[in-house]
Structure 1
Amino acid sequence: MEKKFIDAWDKMIEKLGSWMDTIVVNLPNVLIAIFVFILSLIASKYISKLILRVLNKSNLRPSMKNLISKIISILVIAIGLFLILGILNLSKALNTILAGAGVAGLAVGLALQGALANTYSGIVLSYIKNLKFGDWIETNDYEGEVVDIDLRAITIKQVDNNLVYIPNKLVVENPIKNYSTTSQSRVILECGVGYESDLRFVKKLTIDTIVNNFDAVENKEDVLFLWREFGDSSINYELRFWINSTSALEVAKAKSETMMLLKDAYDENDINIPFPIRTLDFPKEFTIGNEKDVSKNQ
């Protein structure tokens, strides 16, 4: 038993000695590897700042600029790690790491299909020139101002000041209506006046009211006034004109202001805007009995 213990001890000492020899032999490589690692960290930091400075001159979103700079920084560090493995003669370990990374990447890719789709769509949206911060858009049945675009979702602020986060994939795959691509927006208002009204006078009064109160409307030709139908209780028309705004909120405000201006103008000229009513037409020979007759019948 004592002999076995001595043999085991000798083997352990021999093994430790071989390790020590290996460490001494590879000590220059270890020092070089440490130097390369520190150098790669410093290089990644400065290269990231340089790339970010270059990207600041482009029209990319701030989130995309930071993402690209971080990816390049990670790539620089990854290259440094591969060089370190080569310096330490760990090529077999490198092959094992690459094989494992391939399998792990496939598994992660299958598990994160939705997230990767949103990421790719976010990159696509960052290159669309007609979609930027501050634009008023309508997509996926939501309407509002674009306040943020990242790799997961696009954020829009609605009229009621609520934020809506729409996945980038849905925005890319569905139509986008951008109200901010033009310098003007059209206000459309439908209204009606009583059957007793002078239609030519109503048209002239309505157009003059719009021309005198909106800067974007310079003359009467800029206002489109169309009589649409003979309704149940009114003769209905449609009014259209342009305003100097690309925001749907400003369009709503202009429409509200138009309603107040027209109501004041119509009231001053005794023009009636009737509400839905029902008219009962009785024959001439139809009479209503007096109270005595009614009481007798009761």
Structure 2
Amino acid sequence: MNIELSAVWTRMQNLLQSFLVTIPNFLIGLLVFLIFMGIARLASNAVSSVAGRAGQPRGISLVFSRIVSWLVLAVGVLVSLTVIFPTLTAASLFGALGVSGVAIGFAFKDIFQNLLAGILILVTRPFRIGDQIVSGDHEGVVEDIQVRATLLRTYDNRRVVIPNSELYTNRVTVNTAYPQRRLSVTVGIGYGDDIAAARKLILDTLEGLDGLLKDPAPNVLVRELGDFSVNLDVRFWIDPPVRKEAVEAQDSVLEAIHNALPAAGFDLPFPTQQVLFHDQTETADGDRNKQREGWPARQNNPQSRQAAQHDARQNPEHQNPGQQNPGQQNQEQTPQP
């Protein structure tokens, strides 16, 4: 029992001595890592400064400064580990990293894919920070383009995190890519209204509105002949092309047209429906001068069904053979014994 306790005590003494020996190495390794943290911050600021002088967008400087900072920190971690554990050499460390590189690549495939897509987005610049874009079901302002994802702030003040690979491979509509934007609203007038006069009145009304560009000038086109109205497509341009300006411009245009057209005698029709009830037992059924289905009358209108049956009973000899009842036809075709 004494022998076993002495062996345990000896083992604990060895561990304590190893820990005491490791403490200076640990402190030195921590100091080395702090130094590399400072170097990473300086390198990040230097990359941001160089990118700013080169005229690159803020998003590119942010991403590349982060990448440089991560690389410097990774080197700092490796150097700190070799200081804390002297038996751990750089060759063995890089060998372990090489063996596990394939596993790490498969495990972080999505992260690397989003990282590469984010770099390509920043280099090719299909959109920038501050642009208003539409991606799938989401629309809003680009707040930040990070290494893994892009942050989108919707118009109702919510944040949407979209992976960079999705933005790079799918369709994205950039509403603020150009300094001007064309908008359109649809207005319906009656079929009896003069289209040319309505077009002139709408264009005159738009000239007095603020926020609409004179060049390109607004125009009005006949969009379609609808079920109950002639639909006009009113097109106009605004600058800047942001969401707030677009909504306010459409509001002012629709309000002005709604006030101007009825004041000038133009009709703004609303959907109407006519329900026709067809009853074949009516006495006027078949007579287009009297029936209620709304069919247009002709010069030679056929007789109503009741009048035709009455004439057939009064003059059976003038009955059309093709209009004989089926019972009579079957009776005539039955052979006599």
**Which residue in the other structure is 2:322 paired with?**
none
Q: Give the SS at the match of 1:134.
A: coil
Q: Give the SS at the match of 1:164.
A: strand
Partner Cα distance (2:259, 2:238) in 1: 21
Q: Give the SS at the match of 2:104.
A: helix
**1:15-54 → structure 2 map (5 Å cutoff):** 38=31, 41-42=34-35, 44-46=37-39, 48-54=41-47
**Which residue in the other structure is 1:59 paired with?**
57
**1:106-185 → structure 2 map (5 Å cutoff):** 106-185=102-181
**Which residue in the other structure is 1:192 paired with?**
188
Q: Give the SS at the match of 1:67.
A: helix
Superposition deviation, residue 276 in structure 1: 1.3
**Which residue in the other structure is 2:95 paired with?**
99
Superposition deviation, residue 275 in structure 1: 0.9
Partner Cα distance (1:273, 1:223) in 2: 21
Partner Cα distance (1:41, 1:79) in 2: 13
Matched, 1:70 2:49: no
Superposition deviation, residue 170 in structure 1: 0.6
Cα deviation per residue 1:232-252 (whole Å; 9 max; x = unaligned)? 211111111101122234323
Partner Cα distance (1:45, 1:155) in 2: 28
Contact 2:44 2:69 in 1 (8 A): no
Matched, 1:267 2:265: no
Partner Cα distance (1:79, 1:100) in 2: 12
Partner Cα distance (1:129, 1:94) in 2: 39
When the two structures are aligned, how many residues end up with a matched partner? Answer: 264
Query: Normalising to structure 2: TM-score of the pair?
Result: 0.65
Q: 1:167 to 1:194 in 2, by over 3 A?
A: same
Superposition deviation, residue 253 in structure 1: 2.8
Query: Normalising to structure 1: TM-score of the pair?
Result: 0.73
Q: Among residues 217, 240, 244, which one is paired with 2:235 in the alignment?
A: 240
Contact 1:136 1:180 in 2 (8 A): yes
Q: Among residues 202, 224, 230, which one is paired with 2:198 in the alignment?
A: 202
Contact 1:203 1:225 in 2 (8 A): yes
AA of the residue aligned to 2:72: S
Contact 1:82 1:94 in 2 (8 A): no
**Which residue in the other structure is 1:277 paired with?**
272
Q: Gaps spanning 5+ residues in structure 2: where?
A: 277-286, 293-337
Superposition deviation, residue 227 in structure 1: 1.3
Root-mean-square deviation (CA), in Å? 3.7
**Which residue in the other structure is 2:223 paired with?**
228
Cα deviation per residue 1:90-111 (whole Å; 9 max; x = unaligned)? 57x4333222222223212211
Asked which structure has the greater RCO (Cα within 8 Å, sep 6+), the reply is: 1
Q: 1:72 to 1:108 in 2, by over 3 A?
A: closer
- Structure 1 consecutive aligned stretches of length 4 or more whose deviation exceeds 3 Å: 31-41, 78-86, 279-287
Contact 1:224 1:240 in 2 (8 A): yes
